[in-house]
């Protein structure tokens, strides 16, 4: 026990020097969220591209209330616009537009790309400090709430993951490998 205490006391003065040489950790929360969002965004876009146009109108089962593959993408785009505009403090650029009424793969992909481009600016400018600011949020029901900006963007990221999970099911029904399940190339030894 005494040897451990002596070694700890000898190493104690080295801790500040080691911390100075460590990589910067400014904004660790917003940096993580931005990376997670971009990774998720990339999986969604690659998977949407892989799905052939003839499958954009498919829905599992015959129930009309179940979204088609294309409508899943439109739903995702709608909420990216909604939540990122609120996080940014702006009017929703897609307000009043029903993206689920789009018809072609090109239209769905444009809406998806536009929504992701809009959100990239929001996630790109996010810092830990701005993420902890309390903002006004309008729920789909019209009810007003207040929460952290970062909480709303985490909700957006989580919602994107949920929709990606649905997309995976649609793709697997058509024997298409989703982007996150594609084989990874191994580095050459």
List pLDDT tens digits, range 151-183. Answer: 999 999 999 999 999 999 999 999 998 887 877
Q: Which pLDDT belongs to residue 24?
A: 61
> How do residues 133-152 score in pLDDT, each as one tens digit?
999 999 989 999 999 999 99
Query: For residues 83 and 76, what is the distance between their CA atoms, to the nearest angstrom?
Result: 11
Q: Which pLDDT belongs to residue 122?
A: 98
Contact 45, 116 (CB under 8 A): yes
Query: For residues 119 and 42, what is the distance between their CA atoms, to the nearest angstrom?
Result: 13
| Mean pLDDT, the chain, integer | 87
The alpha-helical segments, DSSP class H, found in the chain are 2-11, 15-21, 28-50, 69-88, 105-125, 128-131, 149-173
Q: Which pLDDT belongs to residue 64?
A: 87
Query: For residues 94 and 111, what is the distance between their CA atoms, to the nearest angstrom?
Result: 9
Q: Which pLDDT belongs to residue 75?
A: 97
Q: Which pLDDT belongs to residue 179?
A: 80
Low-confidence ranges of the chain (pLDDT < 70): 1-25, 186-187, 189
Domain residue ranges in the chain = 34-58+66-177
Domain at 34-58+66-177, CATH class: mainly alpha
Query: For residues 48 and 42, what is the distance between their CA atoms, to the nearest angstrom?
Result: 10
């Amino acid at each position: 026990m005494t040897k451990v205490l002596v070694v700890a006391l000898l190493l104690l003065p080295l801790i500040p020097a080691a911390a100075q040489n460590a990589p910067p950790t400014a904004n660790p929360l917003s940096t993580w969220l931005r990376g997670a969002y971009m990774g998720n965004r990339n999986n969604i876009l690659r998977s949407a591209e892989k799905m052939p146009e003839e499958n954009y109108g498919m829905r599992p089962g015959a129930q009309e209330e179940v979204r088609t593959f294309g409508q899943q993408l439109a739903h995702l785009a709608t909420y990216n616009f909604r939540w990122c505009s609120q996080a940014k403090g702006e009017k929703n650029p897609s307000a009043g537009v029903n993206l689920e009424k789009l018809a072609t793969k090109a239209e769905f992909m444009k809406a998806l790309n536009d929504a992701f481009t809009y959100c990239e600016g929001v996630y790109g400018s996010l810092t830990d400090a701005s993420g902890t600011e309390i903002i006004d949020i309008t729920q789909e029901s019209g009810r007003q709430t207040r929460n952290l900006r970062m909480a709303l963007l985490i909700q957006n990221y989580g919602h994107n993951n949920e929709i990606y999970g649905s997309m995976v099911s649609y793709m697997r029904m058509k024997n298409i490998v989703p982007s996150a399940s594609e084989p990874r190339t191994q580095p050459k030894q």
